[in-house]
Amino acid sequence: MEISLIIRTSPENARRLLLAHRFIQAATEQGHTIRQCFFQSEGVLTASQSERLAEWQQIADDTKAELLLCSQAVEEYAIDPEAPFQIGGLGALVEAAVKSDRLVSFV
């Protein structure tokens, strides 16, 4: 099964971000594919936290998933993303949703 995620969780909510990480790990261990993680709203602030960058880099390396930051939220929060994060629009999210078997949201 191919899964895409929407992450709207703010960095202050470490419990929910940990839940997202555990979901990704469990899904891949069960043989599922993570297609995309789309960070929207306050979720883009995760990309600006250097202490979390290694975790997301590891996820990108392990899953080969796109880690996309919503272009509107990047502009709103004045984020300058580093790899593995890229900037994408809602069109990329819609495409991932159409091509994925499941779309899971972490708010």
What CATH number is given to the structural domain containing 78?
3.40.1260.10
- What's the pLDDT tens digit per position in 41-95? 999 998 888 888 999 999 999 999 999 999 999 999 999 999 999 999 999 999 9
Least confident of 1-5, 27-31, 79-83: 79-83
What pLDDT does residue 48 have?
A: 86
Query: What does the alpha-carbon distance between residue 36 and residue 52 come to, in Å, rounded to a whole number?
Result: 18
Give the pLDDT confidence score for residue 32 in this predicted structure. Answer: 98
Structural domain range at position 60: 2-106
If one counts the domains in the chain, the total is: 1
- Whole-model pTM: value is 0.95
Unique residue bearing structure tokens 């998933």:
65
100 CB-near residues (< 8 Å, 6+ apart): 2, 3, 4, 35, 36
